[in-house]
Structure 1
Amino acid sequence: MNISKDSVVQLHYSLFDEQDNLIESTSGGNALAYLHGHDNMIPGFEKALEGKAAGEHVSITLTPEQAYGARRADAIQRVPVKHLSGAKVWKKGMTAVVHTEQGPRQVTVEKVGRFMADVDTNHPLAGKTIRFEVDIQDIRAATAEELAHGHAHGVGGHQH
């Protein structure tokens, strides 16, 4: 079976920045599982895996436009410090989570005062070319429940 819309893909990946620094990796843990073609992964990633088979190794280099977009200079927002989660004391450069109407969102602290903080809402990898090294472990047809929910279930996927 090859990767196509409505298939559940299990894979291991390592993510690198432009200087070849490892950002994150699933090696040593469970394979990541996602439902292909349902916007669960960045578009350039899914496009590069379309048609691939289990057992394949794929190297994927994505420009900012294919990954997390260009950095936006107007993405600085002022929020109450009490809305930042992830630490007790905040400093410039730290990553925080802010809960929004669209769900949790990662932000980078730019400036922090006693009650308010200026945060950069750009994705931390916005404006960067990134590279994934991917090992496809397994591919299967999605269940009716996974299709209804819009994501993969089970190990490496969503747990209900």
Structure 2
Amino acid sequence: MKISEDKIVSLTYDLTVEGELMEKASKESPLTFMYGMGMMLDAFEKQLTGKQTGDAFSFTLSPEEAYGERNEDAVVELPKNIFEIDGKFDDTTIIEGATLPMMDASGNRLMGSILEIKPETVVMDFNHPLAGETLHFDGEVMDVHTASPEEIAAMTQSYEGGCDCESCDGKQDANSCNCGCQE
């Protein structure tokens, strides 16, 4: 079966940037996604179109095809008081190098990395960590099959948000829930 719309795809890959391994999906823990659902980069999916179980792949995505160029406007200083809990700055969570789930004024969820903590502000970078990078993927297609109704429901729930746990009432994005349910 070939990779096409609404197929469940499992694959292994090594993602490298300038020869440095950035991410790996192994046979023991492959990347699994529904093709054409918008879960993956469009250019990533296009490179996999028509491949089938056992096919190897090797391709490169430019920054424009991947996460775009770095945008210096996405590095912002936020007032330190927004990170207070009960009137006290949260210095256990808000540390340089940490990545935090945040929400913009429109209610959109986004991840930000803490670059620096100043006396009155926290400097955060909302660029994707791989923005501005050329990405190289080497891997193998492990499985391709038609999605079952259960798989479609599970993928839709995961993609639309909601970690489906009781601790936070399932209202957190599955990728940013910090109640421990995703560990």
Q: Report TM bin, short chain.
A: 0.7 to 0.9
TM superposition score normalised by structure 1: 0.80
How far apart are residue 109 of structure 1 and its match? Answer: 2.3
Please, which runs of 5 or more residues in structure 2 have no aligned partner? 85-89, 165-183
Residues 110 and 142 of structure 1, relative CA distance in 2, 3 Å threshold: same
TM superposition score normalised by structure 2: 0.71
Aligned residues: percent identity? 32
Residues 152 and 11 of structure 1, relative CA distance in 2, 3 Å threshold: farther
Task: Write the distance in 2 (CA, Å) between the matches of 1:51 and 1:27.
Answer: 21
Q: What is the number of equivalent residue pairs in this alignment?
A: 150
Rg comparison, structure with higher value: 2
Task: Write the distance in 1 (CA, Å) between the matches of 2:21 and 2:116.
Answer: 27
Residues 9 and 152 of structure 1, relative CA distance in 2, 3 Å threshold: farther
Task: Write the distance in 2 (CA, Å) between the matches of 1:70 and 1:20.
Answer: 19
Consecutive aligned runs of 4 or more in structure 1 exceeding 6 Å deviation: none
Task: Write the distance in 1 (CA, Å) between the matches of 2:70 and 2:116.
Answer: 18
Please, which runs of 5 or more residues in structure 1 have no aligned partner? 154-158
Greater relative contact order structure (CA < 8 Å, 6+ sep) = 1
1:129 matched to 2:134? The reply is yes
Task: Please tell me whether the aligned partners of residues 8 and 152 of structure 1 are also in contact (alpha carbons under 8 angstroms).
Answer: no
How far apart are residue 77 of structure 1 and its match? Answer: 2.2
Partner of 1:109: 114
How far apart are residue 10 of structure 1 and its match? Answer: 0.6
Task: Please tell me whether the aligned partners of residues 109 and 119 of structure 1 are also in contact (alpha carbons under 8 angstroms).
Answer: yes
Aligned ranges for residues 9-158 of structure 1 at < 5 Å? 9-17=9-17, 19-27=18-26, 29-79=28-78, 82=83, 88=93, 90-91=95-96, 94-100=97-103, 101-103=107-109, 105-114=110-119, 116-148=121-153, 150-151=155-156
Letter in 1 for 2:59: I
How far apart are residue 26 of structure 1 and its match? Answer: 1.8
Task: Write the distance in 2 (CA, Å) between the matches of 1:6 and 1:28.
Answer: 22
Task: Write the distance in 2 (CA, Å) between the matches of 1:134 and 1:151.
Answer: 25
